[in-house]
Homo-oligomer: A and B are copies of this chain.
Amino acid sequence: MNEDWTKHIAADLPATARNGDQQIVDMIRQAVLTQRLPPGTRLPEVTLGNIFGVSRSVVRKALTRLVADHIIVQHPNQVARIAAPDIVETREIFAARRLVEGEIASLLAGKLTQTQRQKLASIIDEEQLAHRQGNEAKRVECSLAVHRYLADQSPNRVLGVMLTDLILRTSIVIALYKRAGMQACYLDHDHANLLQLLENGPADEACRRMRAHLSALEALLDLRAQETHIDLASILGVPGGASASI
């Protein structure tokens, strides 16, 4: 299996030499957000250990934490992999995110500080610029930055970390289910409108707007029922045969 994503990972952050496992967690999170680490990617412990120059103990701790975040999945005696949620879970992730991020928008609405206003405005400006210039990677990065900033600034920290997790999981399912030739999830002036409502609008209106934004995002994905549960018997024409599904 091709494992040259390792180069991409090591390219990040200037070796801040933190607790070791925190560094690995951060790097993998970042790589997942920017879709350099696609769902299903194998993450062998020794490989990661070599990349970051630590032993399996440290890698193991990092993986355990990422499993808790639902970023990766681990089955006994098998290599850890980047999670690949099915369609049902994808819908659940979006529903949960609408609930949480809608509430955060509601909490923030009409209460933005000057700093927050400016920061959001600058991110959104940069996003629109990147879009006009056709710089897709940059645009996605800015789009993520908007939501991550809201999570960071949530007055309720508990909801804030929940949203941080959900944003990560959303990145994964977008990588999984984005339509082939789509304009990778760009929703024209949604973020600008959102900012307007966060500045002035009533709280419930900001909430509704946020939920609508996320629903629009979800609608851009290809979430038609997959070909799981293939009934061999029915396909092969055995009339009363026991249905064996894969």
Residues of A whose CB lies within 8 Å of any CB of B are 19, 60-61, 64-65, 68-69, 76, 89, 92-93, 95-96, 99-100, 103, 156-159, 162
Chain B hits for A69, CB < 8 A: 68
Report A20 CB to chain B, min CB distance, Å: 11
**Contact A92 B156, CB 8 Å, known A68-B68, A100-B99, A103-B99:** yes
Contact A158 B68 (CB under 8 A): no
Q: How many copies does the complex hold?
A: 2
Chain B hits for A93, CB < 8 A: 158
Give 28 pairs: A residue, B residue, CB < 8 Å, sorted on A: A19-B76, A60-B61, A61-B61, A61-B64, A64-B64, A64-B65, A64-B68, A65-B68, A68-B68, A68-B69, A89-B157, A89-B158, A92-B156, A92-B157, A92-B158, A92-B159, A93-B158, A95-B156, A95-B158, A95-B159, A96-B156, A96-B158, A96-B159, A96-B162, A99-B99, A99-B103, A99-B159, A162-B162
Report A84 CB to chain B, min CB distance, Å: 15
Chain B hits for A64, CB < 8 A: 61, 64-65, 68
Chain B hits for A60, CB < 8 A: 61
* Closest chain B residue, CB of each to CB of A103: B99
Task: Kindly state the separation between the CA atoms of A158 and B91 in the bound complex, as whole angstroms.
Answer: 10
Chain B hits for A157, CB < 8 A: 89, 92
Report A212 CB to chain B, min CB distance, Å: 17
